[in-house]
């Protein structure tokens, strides 16, 4: 939210942000106290797993804005890394409770990954729909400008989901996700996986029968979400391609 508002903030916006940061900091402090109670003081005080280094291509989103680091000063609680079982290494001396908590977190993160992939598919489907019905059909300059702004906003949402998925996948690796699941169900998300392909918006064009969509459209997601109209339109093509 802070990044979307920009750098020139009104007094009311600054006051609102500070209030929300205070509430978030209070919630984080309560969470950290509960974490120590469940994980144990010995685990919490041990050395955490270093965060993965973000590559140069991942330091910026599609707008060129720098992605915030995983951890930051307490003055910006929205950037503070929370204490989870995945933050610590498992060893032969680890307690049974700690091992069980890691299993629970892994299952929760699998569900979160499925939700993120579903949201990415939804957003790409919506982006494809705007390409087809708004941008390409707009003859005047003003409607085309509005359509491009809408599509750019959707792309920022996709970028956000990708960052969440990447960090969540990293945590699943630290929790012991199997190689089979990493290579099949939860693969790395590449930039080409997030493109709004003409295969979805214009399946009857010559050569489209040889086109192949990203793996995110064929993987089976164990999620309770229902598909929206624009996502259903994309999936209908998958049935007949």
Q: From first to last of its 241 residues, what are the pLDDT tens digits of the chain?
A: 566 666 677 888 888 888 998 999 999 889 988 888 888 877 776 766 655 334 334 444 444 444 444 344 457 887 788 889 998 888 877 888 889 999 999 999 999 999 999 999 999 988 887 777 665 555 566 666 777 788 888 889 999 999 999 999 999 999 999 999 999 999 999 999 988 665 555 555 555 555 577 899 888 887 666 555 556 655 544 444 4
Backbone angles phi, psi at 229, to 5 degrees: -60, -40
pLDDT value of residue 57:
44
Give the Cβ contact number of residue 22 at 10 Å: 11
Tell the residue number behind the tokens 């994309």, with chain if given. Answer: 234
Distances (CA, A) of 86 to 98, 169, 179: 10, 11, 17
Grouping H, G, I as helix, E, B as strand and the rest as coil, residue 48 is: strand
CA angle 121, 125, 126 (to 5 degrees): 120
pLDDT value of residue 67:
42
Tokens of 157: 């949402």
- The answer to whether 158 and 127 have CB atoms below 8 angstroms apart is yes
Tokens of 44: 């919490």
CA angle 3, 1, 167 (to 5 degrees): 80
- The answer to whether 80 and 26 have CB atoms below 8 angstroms apart is no
**C-alpha span between 241 and 52 (Å, rounded):** 38
- The answer to whether 215 and 193 have CB atoms below 8 angstroms apart is yes
Q: Among 196, 121, 130, which residue's Cα sits nearest to residue 161?
A: 121
């Amino acid at each position: 939210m802070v990044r979307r508002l920009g750098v020139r903030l009104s007094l009311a916006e600054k006051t609102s942000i500070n209030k929300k940061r205070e509430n978030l900091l209070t919630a984080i402090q309560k969470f950290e106290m509960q974490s120590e109670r469940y994980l144990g003081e010995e685990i919490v005080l041990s050395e955490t797993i270093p965060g993965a280094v973000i590559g140069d291509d991942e330091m910026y989103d599609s707008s060129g804005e720098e992605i915030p680091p995983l951890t930051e000063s307490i003055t910006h609680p929205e950037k503070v890394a929370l204490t989870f079982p995945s933050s610590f290494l498992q060893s032969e001396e680890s307690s049974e409770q700690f091992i069980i908590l890691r299993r629970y977190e892994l299952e929760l993160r699998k569900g979160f990954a499925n939700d993120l992939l579903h949201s990415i598919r939804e957003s790409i489907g919506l982006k494809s729909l705007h390409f087809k019905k708004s941008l390409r059909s707009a003859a005047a300059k003003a409607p085309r400008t509005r359509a491009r702004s809408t599509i750019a906003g959707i792309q920022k949402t996709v970028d956000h989901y990708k960052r969440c998925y990447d960090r969540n996948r990293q945590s699943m690796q630290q929790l012991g996700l199997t190689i089979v699941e990493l290579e099949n169900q939860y693969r790395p998300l590449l930039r080409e996986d997030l493109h709004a392909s003409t295969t979805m918006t214009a399946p009857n064009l010559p050569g489209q029968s040889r086109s192949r969509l990203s793996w995110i459209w064929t993987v089976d997601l164990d999620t309770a979400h229902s598909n929206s109209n624009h996502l259903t339109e994309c999936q209908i093509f998958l049935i007949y391609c």
